Amino acid sequence: MAEQSYTDQEFKVIGSRVRRPDGIDKVTGRARYGADAFAPGQLVGRILRSPHAHAKIKKIDTSRAEKMKGVKAVITCDDLPDLTGGRGPNYDILVNCMARGTALYHGHAVAAVAAVDEPTARKALKAIKVEYKTLPHVTDVDAAMAEDAPIVQPGVEHDGKPSNIVNVSQFGHGDVEAGFAEADVIIEKSYKTEQTHQGYIEPHACLASMGPDGDGELWVTTQGHFTFRTVCAQLLGLDIAKLKVTSSEIGGGFGGKTHVWMEPLALAMSRKANRPVKLVMGRDEVFMGSGPTCSTSMDVKIGAKKDGTITAGLATLRYQDGPFPGPWGMLGGMTAWACYDLPNVQAVAYDVLVNRPKVAAYRAPSAPMAAFAVESTMDLVADKIGMDPVDFRLKNVAKEGSKAAYGPTYGPIGIEATLNAVKNHPHMKAKLGKNQGRGMACGFWFNFGGQTCTDLNIGTDGTVNLTMGTVDVGGARASMSLIAAEELGIPYEKVKCNVGDTSSLGHNDTTEGSRGTFSSGMATIFAARAAVEVLKQRAALMWEIDVEDVEWEDGAAHAKGIEHSNLAPLTLAEIAKKSPQTGGPIAGHNEVVADGAGVSFASHICDVEVDPETGKSKILRYTVVQDAGKAIHPDYVEGQFQGAAAQGIGWALNEEYVYGEDGRLQNPSFLDYRIPVCSDLPFIDTEILEIPNPNHPYGIRGVGETSIVPPLAAIAGAVSNAVGVRLDHTPMSPPRILKAIHDANGA
Amino acid sequence: MSGVQVSTTVNGDVEEFVCHPGETLLDVLRNRLGLTGAKEGCGTGDCGACSVIVDGQLMCACLVLGAEVEGKMVATVEGLADGNKLHPLQDKFLEHAALQCGICTPGFLVAAKALLDDNPNPTEEEIRYALAGNLCRCTGYDKIVRAVDAAAKDLRKSAGRKSSKKSGK
C-alpha cells in the first residue's frame, strides 16, 4: 500500500503535546456530562431493584404508586414486550434492563417510576409491592460448575444435563501431552481472581424524550451512541432514523459504558408519560446493576527444558459471566498465551452463569486474569530452572511470523522490544530494601477497528470542522485535530473537532477495543485526503489549469511544471474563501471498516513493600513499557498507560465484590469498594515504544487497554518476592497476604 | 413538603433559593442554581467529585444540606477563573494533560485550591494526601500531582512579585 511509506515520514504536528480542544470546558465546569442535561417538563426516574440474589417474581402491584400525586409513569416488564423476534438478539439486554418473571441477581431491576421530583419518585418506589419466592442461588464460579449447583438459567445444558456452563472454547496447537513429556521441569498451579468494577466516577445517566409519534431523543453517557440507538430502537419498536442519540461528555467508561443498562427504561417511561425523563443511577446501583468484570478460577501448567525453552503450556480457565452468556471466558482463552511462541499450547475456557450482575467489558476484557495465571506460572518456572524471569520470557517470546495460540500468525509486533526495554531499564537495577520485592510481567491485547464514519468540512475562512463518530473518552478530539492538521497542512488551532450525534453521521461502532484513535484516525486521514482532492480541483479552476498539474503541499496548492511557474501557491484559506464561486462548500468524508488493528503488547515492572505484621502492601515504584505503534499525542498515550496500570494496581491489591451467604453484594459503595487514591500510588513511569502498525497509514495501534493486563501478575511477583510466598488470589489484600505468610510458616 | 428559604453567597454573587429541608447543597447547586460543575459520583462523600469550599473549608456538597449554607460563602469550580483568565491550577491541568474524561476535574481543582490556599508550598506527599479524598479512575494521579505542583510554583512566583511590589522592592 502507498500509505505504508507514510509511517516512515517525518510528521509536522503529530506527536506534539498540544492542549485539548475541550479543555477549557472541562476545567471550568462547563462540560456537560450525562447528568448535566435538562429538558422542559422533565421527570425524575428511579428504578426498583431486587433485594434477592435469585427469586421468582410472583406478583408486582404498582396500583398504589400509580395513584400517587406527582407520579407520571410506572413501568414493569409488561411495558417492554419482547420485540426481538422471540428471544432473539438483544433479548438478554431486555431481560437485564427489567426482570421478566425471575430476578437473576441482587440489584436486578424489577420496576421503575417517573415522577415530578426525586422525593416523590422514591416514595413511589416504596409503594410498589413485589411478591418474591426466593430460589437457591450461586455466586461462585467453581460452585456454579459443581454437579448439584442451583441452575441460573433453565434450558442451559452441558453434556446433555442442565448446567451453568454456557460455553467451552479451546485454542492452541501442537501436542501438549508430548510437550510435557519432553520437559525437564513442570509447574502446575491454580489461581483465583475476584470480581472488580470499572469504577468510572460518573454513574450511568440519561435524559430520554419520546413523543406519541414514535420520535425520540436520548442524551446519554455512553461509549457507543450508535449502538445504543440500534439496541434501544429495536427493544422499543422504533425506527432507527427517528431516534436521535447524543453522547454526552463521558465521565469514564473503560468498557462499562459499551452496554445498554437502563436507557430503554427511560425511553419507555418517557413514552408512557409523554414527558422527558431523566434517569441517573446512584453509586450503589452502578455497582449492583452495571458492569463488573468476571471473577475467575484458573489452572495453568507449563513445562520447560533446563535451558528455558518451553515445551508445553496448558491453561484451564473458568470465567463467570453473571446470569447471561458472554464471550468472556473465550477472550481469556484467546489472550492467555499470546505473548509467547510455543510449539505445544492449549487453552480451555469455560463461560459459566452465576447469580451476579451481567458481566461487562472492562478494559482488555478477560486478559488480565489469564495473564495473572500464566505470567505467575512463568515466574515459577524461571525460578525453578534458575533463570532470570525477563530472559526466560525473551527465550520464548513471540516474534513476527510466530503463530499465536489463538490462531493468527503475527506481523511486526512489539513484545520483544518491550522486554528488552524492561531488561535495560534502570528500574530493574535499582536496589531493594527489607520487605521489598520486584515483579515484572507481560500483557497482550488484540485491539479492534470496526465501522467508522467521519466528516470534514472546510469553512470559507479556512477553518475546519471535523465531526467524528467515536466517543472521546480522554483526549481523542485533540488527536483527531492533530491528524486533520497534519494531512491538510494547517495549524492545529484551525481545526475544531466535535463528536457527532446519530443523526449527523453514518453508523460508528462503539468506542471499544482501543479503536478510537486507530479507526477514527484512519477515517480522518482519508476524509482529509478526499478534501485535499477537492481543494486541488478548486485551485485548478481558479488557475484555469488541469487538476493533474496541481499538487498539495504544506497547506497550499502548488502548480506543477515550468509553464505554471508564474502561479503563486494558493493556500487552503485562499481556496476556501473562493469556494462559493468555485462550486460551493469544500468537504471530505470517509466511511470505512477499519481493518488491520495492530495487536499491542506491554511489559511492566513493579516494586512493592509489604508490612509483614499487617499484610499491607505499598507500591514503591512502577514502570510501564508499551508499544503504541505511533503516539499521536504522547501526553494522552502516557495517561492511558498510567491509568490502566492504576486500575490494575487496584485490582491486584484491593478491589473486590464481596458477596454474603445470602447472595447479596455487601460493598456497593466507594467506601467499601476502595479504588486506589492519590496517596496510594507513586508516579507511574512510562516508556512509549513505536513499532508501526503496517495496516494503518500513520502506524497507529490502539493504546487504551493493554496496560491493565500485566499489573496483576507483576504485583503478585513483587509481593511474592517481598514475603517469600507465592500469592495466587487477587486482590492481595492484607488479610490474604497475612494468611499466605501464616500458611507458609505453619507448613 | 414545605421549603426552606436560604440566602447565601456563591462565587461572590448573592443567591436566594427555596429548597426541601432534606435537599443537599449539591442538588441545590446543580438543580436550582444551574451550577453543574460539581458532580455526583457517589452521594456518600467518598469520591470528592462534588468538592466545594464553604467559608474557607473544603467540603463534599453531597454531605451538606442546602439549608446549612444560609449566610455562608460558597465557592465552586465555576468561580475559579478570574473572568477570562484561568486560575493557575486550571492552566496547569491543561498544560500537563492532568485530565482524561474530566468528570473528577472540578473536584480536584477545588480541593487543590483549598490545599494551596492553606499551604502554598506543599511536598509531593502533602499534595497526595490532600487529594486523597478525590477519586480519579483515568489518570493514576501522576499528571494531576505534577499539575498541582506546577501551579503551586506559579502561584508562589506571582505572590512573590506582588509582595515585592507592595514593599516597593
CA distance linking residue A595 with residue A450, whole number of Å: 7
Residue to substitute from A16, A24, A26, A284, interface B, most B β-carbons within 10 A: A26
Q: Does domain A2-31+449-594 have CATH number 3.30.365.10?
A: yes
- Residues of A in Cβ contact (< 8 Å) with B44: 283, 669-671
Topology agreement, domain A2-31+449-594 and domain A38-136+198-289: no
- Chain A segment 242-301 residues within 8 A of B by beta carbon are 249-254, 280, 282-283
Domain residue ranges in chain A: 2-31+449-594, 38-136+198-289, 296-443+598-746
CATH number corresponding to A296-443+598-746: 3.30.365.10
Q: How far apart are CA A153 and CA A256, in angstroms?
A: 23
Give exposure, A201-214, as e/b (b: 16+ Cβ within 10 Å): bbbbbbbbbbeeee
Nearest CB to A679: which of B47, B100, B128?
B128
Nearest CA in chain A to B79: A28
Is A606's Cβ below 8 Å from some Cβ in B? Answer: no
d(CA B92, CA B112): 12
- CB-based contacts of A727: which residues, under 8 Å, 6+ apart? A716, A719, A720, A736, A737, A740
What distance in Å separates residue A625's CA from the closest CA in chain B? 15
ipTM of the complex: 0.97
Nearest CA distance, B70 vs chain A (angstrom): 22
Q: Closest-CA residue in chain A for B140? A: A643
CB-based contact (8 Å) between B134 and chain A? yes
pLDDT band of A250, cuts 50, 70, 90: very high
Q: Does B11 touch chain A (CB under 8 A)?
A: no
Residue B167 confidence (pLDDT): 57
> In chain B, what residues touch A255 (CB-CB under 8 Å)?
none
pLDDT at position B13 is 97
Chain A residues whose CB is inside 8 A of the B102 CB are 22, 26, 31, 249, 251
Tell if the CB–CB gap between B41 and A203 is shorter than 8 Å: yes
Considering only residues B163 and A384, tell me which one the structure prediction assigns the higher pLDDT: A384
**B-chain residues near A646 (CB < 8 A):** 137, 139-141
Q: What are phi and psi of A81, to 5 degrees?
A: -60, 155
Chain A residues 669-688 within an 8 A CB cutoff of chain B: 669-671, 675-681, 683-684
Reply yes or no on whether the pLDDT at A6 is more than 90: no
Q: Cα dihedral angle (A52, A57, A62, A64), rounded to 10 degrees?
A: -70
Q: Which fold has domain B88-163?
A: DNA polymerase; domain 1 (1.10.150)
pLDDT at B162: 78
What is the pLDDT, as a whole number, of residue B166? 58
DSSP string, A71-136: EEEEE-GGGS---SSSS-TTHHHHHHHS-SSEE-STT-EEEEEEESSHHHHHHHHHH-EEEEEE--
Residues 150-169 of B with CB under 8 A from A: none
Q: Does A224 touch chain B (CB under 8 A)?
A: no
Q: Would an 8 Å CB–CB cutoff place B90 in contact with chain A?
A: yes
User: Which residue among A250, A282, A679 places its CB closest to the CB of B101?
Assistant: A250
Listed residue (A270, A273, A288, A256) closest to A219, CA to CA: A270
- pLDDT (tens digit, 9 = 90+) per residue, A462-512? 999 999 999 999 999 999 999 999 999 999 999 999 999 999 999 999 999
CA–CA dist A375, A655 (Å, integer) = 20
User: Which among B1, B100, B135 has CB closest to A670?
Assistant: B135
Find the residue in B nearest to A677 (Cα). B132
Task: pLDDT band for A8, please (50, 70, 90 cuts).
Answer: low
Q: How many CA atoms lie within 13 A of A413 on its CB side?
A: 31
Contact across the interface for B144 and A642, Cβ inside 8 Å = no
pLDDT digits (tens, 9 = 90+) for A140-166: 999 999 999 999 999 999 999 999 999
Split at pLDDT 50, 70, 90, the class of A4 is very low
> What pLDDT score does A1 carry?
30
The count of CB pairs under 8 A between chains A and B is: 184
**Chosen from A28, A284, A671, A686 to mutate, greatest number of chain B CBs within 10 A:** A28
| Cβ separation A677–B135 shorter than 8 A | yes
A60: left (phi over 0), alpha (psi -120 to 50) or beta: beta
Kindly report the average pLDDT of chain A as a whole number: 96
Closest chain A C-alpha to B100 CA, distance in angstroms: 4
- Kindly determine whether residue B144 and residue A678, on different chains, have CB atoms separated by under 8 Å: yes
* Residue B61 contacts A, CB cutoff 8 Å: no
B1 at interface of A, judged by CB pairs closer than 8 A: yes
Whole-prediction pTM value? 0.97
DSSP β-bridge partners for residue A684: A622
CA distance A30 to chain B (A): 6
| Percentage of chain A exceeding pLDDT 70 | 99
Give the DSSP per-residue string, A595-626: --PPPEEEEEEEEEEE-TTT--EEEEEEEEEE
Extended beta strands in A281-389, E state: 296-304, 310-320, 345-352
**Chain A contact for B32 (CB, 8 A cutoff):** no
Give how far A252 is from chain B: nearest CA, Å.
Answer: 6
Which has the higher per-residue pLDDT, A320 or A212?
Answer: A320
What pLDDT digit, counting tens, does each position of A393-409 carry? 999 999 999 999 999 99
Q: How far apart are CA A54 and CA A150, in angstroms?
A: 10
Put simply, whether B21 touches A (Cβ < 8 Å) is no
User: Of A622, A614, A616, A597, nearest to A696 (Cα)?
Assistant: A597
- Average pLDDT of the residues in A613-617: 96
User: pLDDT by residue (tens digit) across A554-604?
Assistant: 999 999 999 999 999 999 999 999 999 999 999 999 999 999 999 999 999
Domain B4-79 is in which class? alpha beta
Structural domain spans, chain B: 4-79, 88-163
Residues of B in contact with A633 (CB under 8 A): 97
The verdict on a CB contact (< 8 Å) between B99 and A27 is yes
Domain covering A38-136+198-289: architecture: Alpha-Beta Complex (3.90)
b/e burial code for range A80-94 (CB count within 10 A of at least 16 → b): beebeeeeeebbbbb
Please list every residue in chain B whose beta carbon sits closer than 8 Å to the beta carbon of residue A680.
Answer: 132
Cβ <8 Å between A473 and B133: no
**In 3D, which of B126, B48, B110 has the Cα closest to residue B78?**
B110
pLDDT in tens, B45-63: 999 999 999 999 999 999 9
C-alpha cell at A352: 459459566
